[in-house]
């Protein structure tokens, strides 16, 4: 694996974990429902599940390159599938859902990370 490709995977992993964690904290602060229900709702969103898959994929590639999980996520077919799923997140959000609400502040930054920046970076990683 080329060093720059591994560095990009590490950057995507850090960005994904950060965005998912920040979105969860934002959801917690904006919710009055029980934490158990909040967790179920949070992990029912395709965006969250797909970004979680990206985070696990990139983390595995960087931290476990010789283990079964790292080898699985490094396969071209797996990277292609992960890229397709995250591109669906980006395309659907940016073409259809973006105009339904206007987040502000940190919520806007996290929203852009989850729906725009991470899909673009994964596409770049796939193309390298």
What's the N-to-C CA distance of the chain in angstroms? 10
Alpha-carbon distance 119 to 106, whole Å? 19
Q: What is the pLDDT of residue 23?
A: 97
pLDDT, one tens digit per residue, over 1-52 is 555 899 999 999 999 999 999 999 999 998 888 999 999 999 999 999 999 9
Q: What is the pLDDT of residue 3?
A: 58
Alpha-carbon distance 39 to 33, whole Å? 10
pLDDT, one tens digit per residue, over 77-95 is 999 999 999 999 999 999 9
pLDDT, one tens digit per residue, over 51-62 is 999 999 999 999
């Amino acid at each position: 694996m080329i060093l720059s490709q591994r560095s990009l995977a590490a950057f995507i992993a850090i960005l994904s974990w950060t965005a998912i964690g920040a979105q969860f904290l934002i959801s917690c602060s904006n919710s009055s429902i029980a934490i158990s229900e909040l967790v179920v709702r949070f992990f029912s969103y395709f965006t969250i599940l797909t970004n979680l898959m990206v985070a696990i994929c990139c983390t595995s590639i960087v931290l476990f390159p010789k283990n079964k999980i790292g080898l699985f996520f490094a396969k071209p077919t797996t990277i292609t599938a992960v890229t397709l799923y995250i591109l669906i997140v980006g395309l659907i959000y940016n073409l259809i859902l973006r105009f339904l609400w206007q987040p502000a502040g940190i919520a806007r930054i996290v929203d852009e990370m989850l729906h725009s920046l991470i899909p673009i970076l994964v596409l770049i990683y796939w193309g390298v």
